[in-house]
Amino acid sequence: MLLVFALLPSLGYAQASAPEEAEKLACINAHAEGQELRNAKKLAKAKERLIECSTRACPTPILRECSSLLTEVMTELPTLALSVNRPGGEALMDAKISVDGLPWDGPLGIAREIDPGVHEVRVSHPLHGEATRVITVLEGKKAQSAVLEIGLPSDSTPKTPPPPPPADPGRSLLPPTGAFVFFGLSVAAFATGTALGIVSLDLEDTVATQADLDELETLRLGADISFIGGGAFAAVGVIWWIVDATSDPGLIDESARSAVKLDVQPLNGGVWFGLRVAQ
């Protein structure tokens, strides 16, 4: 019985020392990892590990070392404030930001701790689209700021493209009114000449007197004059059409265009047709 009671105190000491040894080992690991993270410039994570070994019941040398390293890391750890604006200056407080693929929590415009170095910042907004920017954070500098712009300026609105210019009436392929008139006269003259020609052919078989012969010659002359006039009217219509189609509306206005007149003059027992531009 005396042997059993003698062993109980030593067993209780072994049970009590196991948690202390585990805590000491965790403290040593936190100290080592904190230094490694600091050397890799991952200062935010280094801060977390050094806080662990500064507050635990660590051996006094390790606790002092961790406290000293934590003070240095807090000095080296920079802070950054991010904000999002439209190009016109309007702030977008409901924009979403991620840094290196991780969400940037907390309100915009408030400085937060961040590791020094190069970071990819991506911003998105349901109404104004997305944008990406690469920024460099300086070690040891507090309250750095970066403004990201996204979307269109505040005072800009999508512009409707102007309507196509109206078709140039001076370039129409249809004949102008004056040409239509001459084409109509040409058709009428050809029809008259054809009718007179048919009548004269029928009269040839019934010519009996000088009066009949004179009438036949008159019909033939009328048919010839009608055919000549029809050809002349057609030519004038074509010329009018060509002049109208090739004229530059910027050089010849409608008043000058309407000043083109038909000129008819007698010539050696016949008729001369032409165009005359009134001055």
**pLDDT single digits (tens) 4-62:** 333 334 444 444 467 778 888 888 899 999 999 999 999 999 999 999 888 767 888 88
Task: Give the predicted TM-score (pTM) of the model.
Answer: 0.49
More confident residue, 178 or 108: 108
> With contact defined as beta carbons under 8 Å apart, do 183 and 234 qualify?
yes
Three-point CA angle 66, 69, 70, nearest 5°: 85
pLDDT in tens, 48-86: 999 988 876 788 888 899 999 999 999 999 999 999 998
pLDDT at 208 over 90: no
Quickly state the pLDDT bin for 256 (edges 50, 70, 90): very low
pLDDT at residue number 225:
87
Three-point CA angle 78, 84, 85, nearest 5°: 135
DSSP string, 209-230: SHHHHHHHHHHHHHHHHHHHHH
For residue 171 the two structure tokens come to: 């370039």
pLDDT at residue number 270:
53
